[in-house]
């Protein structure tokens, strides 16, 4: 069965510092991988997705993620965080496309220290 693990429940980083949010998945074949961000009062917004090809994926708002098959990981990174990046981040996996069932991780809450 597919599953997604986000080991960090809450992370606090200083504004301007680099960020890495961890995500590990369990899936038999090559999965479709996503990172979403959820801000209060707003719907989940897709940051980036990986289906195939280049394992380093660029997303919106300066985020990127790297698919590492050997580690079953899809960690999200940003070189310099802004106060507006404070939100809940979800890693997710699907079996063949966004039309299929998406399994979400438990989320990582990001706080930004001024």
**Residue 42 binds another protein (CB under 8 A):** yes
Strand, coil or helix: 85: helix
Q: Residue 13 or 37: which CB sits closer to another protein?
A: 37
The residue length of the chain stands at 114
**49-108 positions binding another protein, by CB under 8 A:** 49, 51, 90, 97-99, 101-107
**Residue 1 binds another protein (CB under 8 A):** no
- Helices and strands, counts by H and E, the chain: 0, 12
Question: CB of 27: closest distance to another protein in angstroms?
Answer: 16
CA 99 to chain CA mean position, Å: 19
Is beta strand 108-113 parallel, antiparallel or unpaired with respect to 10-14?
Answer: parallel
- Interface residues with another protein (CB under 8 A) are 36, 41-46, 49, 51, 90, 97-99, 101-107
């Amino acid at each position: 069965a597919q599953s997604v693990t986000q080991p960090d429940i809450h992370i606090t980083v200083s504004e301007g510092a680099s960020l890495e949010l961890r995500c590990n998945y369990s899936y038999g074949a090559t999965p479709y991988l996503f990172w979403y961000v959820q801000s209060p009062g707003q719907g989940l917004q897709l940051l980036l997705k990986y289906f195939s090809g280049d394992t380093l994926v660029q997303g919106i708002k300066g985020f990127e993620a790297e698919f590492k098959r050997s580690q079953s990981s899809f960690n999200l990174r940003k070189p310099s965080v802004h106060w507006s990046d404070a939100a809940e981040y979800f890693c997710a996996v699907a079996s063949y496309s966004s039309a299929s069932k998406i399994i979400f991780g438990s989320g990582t809450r990001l706080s930004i220290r001024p």
